[in-house]
Structure 1
Amino acid sequence: MSLKQRLEELKDQGLQDIQAADNQQKLNDIRVKLLGKKGPITEVLRGLKDLSNEERPQVGSFANKIKGDLSSAIDDQLKVLDQKTLQRRLAHETIDVTLPGRPAPVGTPHILNQTIDDLEELFIGLGYEVIDGPEVETDHYNFEMMNIPRNHPARDMQDTFYITHDLLMRTHTSPNQARSLEKHDFSKGPLKMISPGRVYRRDNDDATHSHQFNQLEGLVIDKHVTMADLKGTLEVVARHVFGEEREIRLRPSYFPFTEPSIEVDISCFACGGKGCRVCKYTGWIEVLGAGMVHPNVLSRAGVDPQVYGGFAFGLGPDRFAMLKYGVNDIREFYQNDLRFLHQFQREVK
């Protein structure tokens, strides 16, 4: 058998094997077997040395053509197999684009933020503006402007974290009230504001206390504002948060920045005032402090206390949330336990 005949035979057999290959691995094996350095075509080409000078180029050219034909056939079959693989994947992984999408899990506001947002909406509806301010505060605005001079014993109630002698983490949001008093133009109308935010005090962390917590303070300054206006406002707040049937009780108290000062109780929402564990069998629950703004606070901000007066109040959204939802430990709000937080999920608007 001549070399040409042997090459023709190898080509025919190779094309049959290529057509029969049904995966890439078999095609790669055929490529190595036919066209590799140890393959039969290479073996045939080694016999070129025995041919005459006239036959050698003809047979060599013919052998190269066969190698090219087999290589092209392998590439074509590879494309066919790739297309078949793609078709199988498309058939198996078909997506119906008309089906509704799978909803991704979406978080909801933290329960404390929900409580603050609810109170903000209430006060905005009553004509108040919401004022924000820095958490790192000066001693001047945090204490001095609130009628708490240096070495005053009232500072012991609000011992806090000092950064320098004059810089500290604010103990209440009252500094925002002082700044608003300084800036407000009373010729354009009364000052009605609330100031929610995080405050800091050096306190032991236990079930009812935390070194950081939220506070929402309110301030109304105008001519002829009375304690009756304060009581009416606090009744609206109590009934909005704890139920329309709630009653409030005012008790005398002391705060350096208000005079007279009061503590505010609400009738127990758990027992309706009959006495239970929630209200410690008194029928009342303490919820916030308030009072008429001290004249010294007004005069320090450049407001004439002989002409203007008003009331201020401070409440804790953390305490409101604890009472409203029956949470026994304030630390639960800050531990990010999803089992706890999922109890207060609401639909995101």
Structure 2
Amino acid sequence: MIDKIKAHIEEVAAFTADDLQAVEAFRIQYLGKKGLLNDFFAAFKTVPNEEKKAYGQAINELKTAATEKVNGLKEALTDKAADAGKYGDLTRPAESVSLGARHPISIVKNQIIDIFSRIGFNVSEGPEIEDDWHNFTALNLPEYHPARDMQDTFFIQTDPDILLRTHTSSVQVRYMENNQPPIRTISPGRVYRNEAISARSHCFFHQVEGLYIDKDVSFADLKQTLQFFTTEMFGKSEIRLRPSYFPFTEPSAEVDVYWGLETETDYRITKGTGWLEIMGCGMVDPNVLSNCGIDPNEYSGFAFGMGIDRIAMLLYGIPDIRLLSENDVRFLEQFKSAL
């Protein structure tokens, strides 16, 4: 008799059901008024005295197993039914998930990094909160230098030595302080200037500045590097360099790319000349090299810098720089197909 009960215990453990009706039939079979458990209890009086203890334990084990099985199946099937009622048919294909898009600033920055990485430039980064030495003095802009007026600056609290960086040239200073030539690096990042916000200017924007320091670096190397960049970035290889002034480079130049005059937009953005200014550049001033612990008699180099925001506006025809920082979903969704 005990062996028969144990066989039922194994059957209970193996039982499963897909609906509540089958569970109810199982409950009646074992736990109902005319179920198997009642039959086993009724047979208790016929069991020899020496077997009564083991027999009673077996019956209780079967009852516990059957009860737990019924309760567990009922709970699982009830939860499944509730989910189906809440979400419908769970086997249906799900609705498509709305994918995000890269910001145009990120798209353009990644393109610039990719182009320069192909010719050996690595990426260097630095703090946005800078000190006067790295942002100005080391770059040949000592205190009271008139060129400081070219960059309206945000200072931190009342400390005139701590400020929000006005360019990523400060990253180049830090890189030169900690690395010996040959140096070939670009420094992308956000910069800040105390300017009025309008469709064409903002108090913060993004730059990429490049630096190459080695023996016998010439202006010809600079020109060829920039020509490679404009060809890869814009598909236009004709550039010109106009004399300019930057405190940290000598000689210095503005770089124009020939954009063409094929459309009305071309006439507008180039002011009818076909030429478009895209960046500044020059040979690194020997004073800057000395300030950073590099011997200017042994090494020379060039530097360049461009605005990521301006290039993004140019490539995507964005009319207002403020759109790049307003997080308007309608604007950002236009770039879902971009890299």
Q: Which residue of 2 aligns with 1:220?
A: 212
Instruction: Output the amino acid matched with 1:171.
Output: T
Q: Which residue of 1 aligns with 2:312?
A: 321
Q: Which residue of 2 aligns with 1:33?
A: none
* Contact 1:246 1:269 (8 Å CA) reproduced: no
Cα shift at 1:103:
3.1
Q: Give the Cα separation in 2 of the matches to 1:272 and 1:225.
A: 39
| Cα distance, 1:104–1:142 mapped onto 2, change above 3 Å | same
Cα shift at 1:121:
1.3
Q: Which residue of 1 aligns with 2:46?
A: none
Alignment of 1:1-349 (within 5 A): 93-96=88-91, 100-163=93-156, 164-186=159-181, 190-243=182-235, 245-269=236-260, 271=262, 276-346=267-337
Q: Give the Cα separation in 2 of the matches to 1:90 and 1:205.
A: 52
* Contact 2:84 2:90 (8 Å CA) reproduced: no
Q: Give the Cα separation in 2 of the matches to 1:270 and 1:342.
A: 30
DSSP-derived class of the 1:202 partner? coil
Q: Give the Cα separation in 1 of the matches to 2:265 and 2:107.
A: 30
Q: Give the Cα separation in 2 of the matches to 1:287 and 1:87.
A: 62
| Cα distance, 1:95–1:255 mapped onto 2, change above 3 Å | same
Extract unaligned runs of 5+ from structure 1: 1-81
Q: Give the Cα separation in 2 of the matches to 1:337 and 1:183.
A: 41
| Cα distance, 1:174–1:83 mapped onto 2, change above 3 Å | closer
Cα shift at 1:346:
2.9
1:193-232 Cα shifts (integer Å, max 9, x gaps):
0000000001111111110000000000000111111111
Runs of 4+ in structure 1 displaced over 2 angstroms?
A: 82-96, 99-103, 269-275
DSSP-derived class of the 1:149 partner? coil
* Contact 1:249 1:266 (8 Å CA) reproduced: yes
| Cα distance, 1:136–1:95 mapped onto 2, change above 3 Å | same
Q: Give the Cα separation in 2 of the matches to 1:139 and 1:325.
A: 36
* Contact 1:242 1:269 (8 Å CA) reproduced: no
| Cα distance, 1:83–1:301 mapped onto 2, change above 3 Å | closer
* Contact 2:122 2:186 (8 Å CA) reproduced: yes
| Cα distance, 1:272–1:292 mapped onto 2, change above 3 Å | farther
Q: Give the Cα separation in 1 of the matches to 2:338 and 2:265.
A: 35
Where relative contact order (Cα < 8 A, 6+ residues apart) is larger, the structure is: 2
Cα shift at 1:323:
1.1
1:139-190 Cα shifts (integer Å, max 9, x gaps):
011000100000001001112100121100000011111111111133xxx1
Q: Give the Cα separation in 1 of the matches to 2:285 and 2:80.
A: 82
Q: Give the Cα separation in 2 of the matches to 1:274 and 1:246.
A: 20
Q: Which residue of 1 aligns with 2:72?
A: none
Q: Which has the larger Rg?
A: 1
Q: Which residue of 1 aligns with 2:36?
A: none
| Cα distance, 1:218–1:272 mapped onto 2, change above 3 Å | farther
DSSP-derived class of the 1:276 partner? helix
| Cα distance, 1:273–1:101 mapped onto 2, change above 3 Å | closer
Identify the range of structure 1 (268-277 vs 111-120) with the bigger mean alpha-carbon deviation: 268-277
Q: Give the Cα separation in 1 of the matches to 2:260 and 2:234.
A: 7
Identify the range of structure 1 (105-114 vs 83-92) with the bigger mean alpha-carbon deviation: 83-92
Q: Which residue of 2 aligns with 1:56?
A: none
DSSP-derived class of the 1:150 partner? coil
- Aligned Cα root-mean-square deviation (Å): 2.6
DSSP-derived class of the 2:213 partner? strand
* Contact 2:202 2:321 (8 Å CA) reproduced: yes
Instruction: Output the amino acid matched with 2:162.
Output: L
1:61-94 Cα shifts (integer Å, max 9, x gaps):
xxxxxxxxxxxxxxxxxxxxx9999898788744
What percent of counterpart residues are identical?
48
